[in-house]
Amino acid sequence: MRRFAGLHLLHLESVDSTNSYVLSRPDLLLKAGLVVYADHQTSGRGRMGRRWFLGSRGNLAASLVIQPDLPKDYLSCMTLLVGLGVYEALSTLGLEGLSIKWPNDILIADKKVCGILCETSGAAGLQAIVAGIGLNIRGDRDDFPPEVRGRLTTLESHGVRPSRKEMLELLLDHVDRVLCLASEGHVDMLLDKWEGSSSSIGRRVRFSQDGNTHVATIAGLGPHGDLRVRLAGSASLVTVVSGEVEYL
């Protein structure tokens, strides 16, 4: 019996963005555990204001309404915890080279197969988090626009062809399991697991912060899911709380 993710499912044929749809509907934001998923998205949104292309071959676009049962200090970890749940679901498919890239991209052999956009709503004092998951299941990277093709992959390219509904159920089971463990006080253990599942630790990266671009090596996660990096040529650790890193 799920407690946090996937208690009710709402299917839409077409929508601008499943995240935008949920965020614009306070009645849906009140439904903890709701999942909205769609066959088509006309304006799918990615992190950092980018577009998200769903492709036309049965990929997954779903938004989870989560009302986490976590102390405030840990809320910033939610995005990592959802990513860990998705990673754990995909790892049951026997994929080679699966990893998490901070904060919550899921990669196969360093190409992105799944992106997650976590947003919060200020509406009516709600504490709901909308976790939008875009998973490339079918086809290959040629089904995506040229500008993103080189960075993406699909499950089918790696020999796995689950249906969208099977994948959704699998993701919900694993995300729910991670959120249950988090609510039972196991966040530190889950963050250790995240580190063990990530290709980011020890990696040389480029990132931007405060208008400057830096090269650094990732040292690990801080206690609340922020990233600790060692800048090139420096011994001290710097914290990165948001944004993204580029693998070098």
The residues that touch ligand BTN, with contacts defined as CB under 6 A, are: 17-19, 41, 44-47, 50, 52, 61-63, 105, 115-117, 132-134
We find the least distance from the C-beta atom of residue 198 to ligand BTN, in angstroms, to be: 15
We find the least distance from the C-beta atom of residue 122 to ligand BTN, in angstroms, to be: 18
CB-wise, 31 or 186, nearer to ligand BTN?
A: 31
Ranked by CB distance to ligand BTN, the top (closest) residue is: 115
CB-wise, 17 or 198, nearer to ligand BTN?
A: 17
We find the least distance from the C-beta atom of residue 248 to ligand BTN, in angstroms, to be: 19
CB atoms inside a 10 Å sphere around CB 165: 13
We find the least distance from the C-beta atom of residue 93 to ligand BTN, in angstroms, to be: 19
CB-wise, 32 or 64, nearer to ligand BTN?
A: 64
From residue 213, alpha-carbon distances to 115, 220, 235, 244 in Å are 23, 20, 18, 12
We find the least distance from the C-beta atom of residue 235 to ligand BTN, in angstroms, to be: 32
CB-wise, 166 or 192, nearer to ligand BTN?
A: 166
The whole-angstrom separation of Cα 122 and Cα 109 is 37
Tokens standing for residue 221: 């996660």
Tokens 């499943």 belong to which residue?
18
Q: CA nearest 151: which of 141, 138, 165?
A: 141
- Give the distance from CA 118 to its chain's centroid: 7
Burial (Cβ within 10 Å: 0-12, 13-18, ≥19) of residue 3: middle
CB-wise, 135 or 187, nearer to ligand BTN?
A: 135
